[in-house]
Each structure stands twice: as structure tokens, then as C-alpha cells.
Amino acid sequence: MENFTTKIQISPLKGSENWATWRYKVSIMLRGTEGAMEAAEGKLRKPILGTGDGALMAYNSELLKYRKADSNALLIMTSNMTEETLTKVMRFETAHE
């Protein structure tokens, strides 16, 4: 479903004028993309490198999942904003911010 959600366009976020309906529609798209809603809510966090055998491999695997989910969430949100709104949020690096 990830490819499907990135092709759907909803009315761009214009601010408080359409915040409630935009948020609802975007949350549906986020829930349809693995890990995206969790990334946006801050429930999915960047992994921390552990110690021991296989720690680096496990870290890299979890980091890849985190980056993909966060990137998908950012893409869903930012591709459904006006340019004016986008310029206000470009300073944030993660979907949760």
C-alpha cells in the first residue's frame, strides 16, 4: 500500500482553515503505511547501538526500518501541504518533530 498512499493527493494543509480535515485524511494515509503513524507520533524512535555479538547488524536493520518509516511519514505529510506551510516546517528533520 505504500506506493498507493504516496500517489493520493488530498487538499493541501493551509493552516487552521483546514487543519482538522487535513489531519484526519493524513492520519488515514499514515496508518496505511508501515511504521509511518508510529514515526509521526514519536512511538518509533531511532535505534541505539547495543553491545555484544550481532549488535551492529541488528542496529543497522532497525535503523533501516526507522529511516524508511520516518521518510514515508514525512513524504505523506509534506506532499500534502501548500508551499507556504512547507517552508514553515522544513527546519524539522523527523516526522515527529
pLDDT digits (tens, 9 = 90+) for 69-90: 999 999 999 999 999 999 999 9
What stretches in the chain show pLDDT beneath 70?
1-7
- Going by C-alpha positions, the residue among 44, 66, 33, 36 that lies closest to residue 58 is 66
pLDDT at 3: 52
Q: Domain for residue 75, yes or no?
A: yes
**pTM score:** 0.84
For residue 96, being part of any structural domain is answered with no
Q: Which residues in the chain belong to E strands, given as ranges?
A: none
Q: Is residue 7 part of a domain?
A: no
| Structural domain total, the chain | 1
pLDDT score recorded for residue 1: 46
| C-alpha separations of 64 from 37, 59, 77, 93 in Å | 16, 9, 20, 16
Does a structural domain hold residue 13? Answer: no
For residue 38, give its domain range.
18-89
Calculate the CA 65 to chain-centre distance: 12
| pLDDT given at position 77 | 95
